[in-house]
């Protein structure tokens, strides 16, 4: 049988009787797939594998512990034979053919009236691949298509009317490779994207032409679309039957007001999903080689905005402080931490545009960093890291090194050369 002889279709077997002849691993896999489709499965085999016995013991299928008989095909809708004995499989296939019942013959795909494709399910999309009777080739193709759907490289977007919903998607710090697989998939399904100024903006260029993008981005001190209006947009678009993705930078629940948006959606009866993202509070320091915790230097960290009162933050160099949106009040924040007892020689690192081509790192101390930032025009988006962990960064000067900063090479001299070609400048005191 040539591949051109195949007419692809899908069987709906819910509640319908089917027959599996054989008790080995292939028969077990096919029986499991038929059960997943809702079929009433009977297995005929003198001996059954442990997997089949477990299904029978659980009452999920009926196992007839005996050899096959021609009358076994009477009244069934579909037959799968996989005995490993070509003579038995051929007999089963012939008996099914005589009664015009579709039968898959695992022993001889060329003589089989039907083929079982390699199948994967992504959301409510079923992928079925036949590859000229080559099951390994079919599985490889199936996996490739499933991966492309999972990652959003192929469109999963519905085209018929459906119930509207909202997904709050954390897009990470801006690099398109740092959005989660789930977030990327939902973006590929969206009818409407409500986008922030930060996050993986390049992904918007990959959307279908008829996907609407509503810009609601904010900058420090400038909120052209108030939060109340953003909430209203999300609900209004979903109530019109649209799949809405709220694409946010970082994580929607880390200083991103995602909790307010989710609560508003639920209050108005709109289904909402929250997809965590790679928060810039941790990932952007990492882009400059700064861990927020490090053995021997810091066991904990606090994340605050530059607008928050810092009096409750531990004023110790071994407790990392991460400031988001803190450039505008950097001098005041440094002064507040100094007055709280944090030494003025505590290392401070500022990472602008983390993971982007124009990333820039500025390293100084609590006492010098405000002057450095003003002199060089440091601007948002930026993450500020305060604490001894800054000493670990490859961009830190050699005199920042301490004897206990490393658990592997505590006495090796520090290099100040950049290992990140995208970092355009390193500033130190």
- Cα 132 to chain centroid, rounded: 33
DSSP character string of 152-168: TSS-----S----EEEE
User: Is residue 218 among the annotated active site residues?
Assistant: yes
Give the whole-angstrom CA distance, residue 191 versus residue 322. Answer: 36
Strand 78-81, strand 360-365: pairing: unpaired
Among 32, 85, 218, 318, which one carries the catalytic annotation?
218
Compute the distance between CA of residue 151 and CA of residue 174 in angstroms, rounded to an integer: 17
Contact present, 218 and 199 (Cβ < 8 Å): no
Instruction: Say how far residue 184 (Cα) sits from the centre of its chain.
Output: 7
Q: Is 273 helix (H, G, I), strand (E, B) or coil?
A: strand
Q: Among 72, 95, 191, 196, which one carries the catalytic annotation?
A: 196
Distance (Å, whole) CA 3 – CA 132: 5
Contact 297, 392 (CB under 8 A): yes
* Cα dihedral 342, 344, 345, 351 sign: positive
Query: Rounded to whole angstroms, how far apart are CA atoms 229 and 152?
Result: 29
248 a catalytic residue = no
Beta carbons of 389 and 298 less than 8 angstroms apart: yes
- Compute the residue count for the chain: 429
State the DSSP code for 38: T
Catalytic residues: 196, 218
């Amino acid at each position: 049988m040539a591949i051109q002889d195949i007419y692809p279709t899908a069987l709906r077997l819910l509640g319908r009787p089917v027959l599996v002849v054989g008790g080995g691993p292939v028969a077990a896999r096919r029986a499991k797939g038929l059960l997943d489709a809702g079929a009433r499965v009977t297995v005929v085999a003198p001996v059954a594998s442990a997997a089949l016995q477990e299904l029978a013991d659980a009452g999920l299928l009926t196992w007839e512990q005996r050899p096959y008989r021609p009358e076994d095909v009477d009244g069934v809708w579909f037959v799968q034979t996989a005995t490993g004995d070509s003579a038995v499989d051929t007999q089963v296939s012939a008996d099914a053919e005589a009664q015009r019942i579709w039968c898959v013959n695992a022993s001889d795909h060329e003589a089989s009236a039907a083929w079982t494709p390699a199948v994967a399910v992504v959301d409510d999309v079923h992928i079925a691949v036949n590859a000229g009777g080559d099951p390994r080739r079919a599985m490889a193709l199936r996996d490739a298509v499933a991966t492309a759907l999972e990652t959003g490289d192929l469109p999963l977007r519905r085209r018929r009317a459906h119930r509207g919903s909202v997904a709050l998607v954390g897009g990470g710090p801006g690099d398109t490779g740092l959005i989660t697989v789930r977030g990327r998939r939902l973006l590929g399904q969206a009818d409407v994207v409500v986008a922030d100024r930060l996050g993986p903006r390049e992904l918007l260029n990959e959307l279908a032409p008829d996907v609407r993008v509503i810009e609601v981005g904010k900058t420090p001190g400038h909120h052209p679309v108030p939060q109340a209006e953003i909430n209203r947009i999300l609900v209004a678009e979903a109530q019109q039957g649209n799949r809405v993705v709220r694409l946010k930078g970082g994580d929607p629940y880390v200083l991103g007001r995602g909790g307010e948006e989710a609560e508003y959606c639920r209050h108005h009866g709109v289904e909402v999903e929250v997809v965590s993202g790679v928060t810039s509070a941790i990932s952007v320091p990492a882009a400059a080689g700064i861990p927020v915790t490090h053995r021997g230097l810091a066991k904990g960290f606090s994340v605050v905005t530059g607008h928050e009162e810092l009096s409750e933050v531990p004023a110790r160099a071994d407790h990392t402080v991460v400031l988001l949106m803190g450039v505008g009040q950097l001098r005041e924040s440094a002064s507040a931490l100094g007055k709280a007892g944090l030494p003025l020689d505590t290392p401070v690192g500022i990472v602008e545009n983390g993971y982007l081509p124009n990333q820039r790192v500025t390293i100084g101390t609590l006492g010098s960093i405000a002057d450095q930032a003003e002199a060089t025009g440091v601007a948002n988006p930026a993450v500020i890291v305060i604490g001894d962990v800054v000493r670990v960064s490859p961009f830190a000067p050699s005199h920042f090194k301490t004897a206990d900063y490393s658990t592997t090479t505590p006495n090796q001299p520090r290099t100040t050369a950049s290992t990140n070609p995208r970092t355009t400048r390193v500033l130190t005191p």
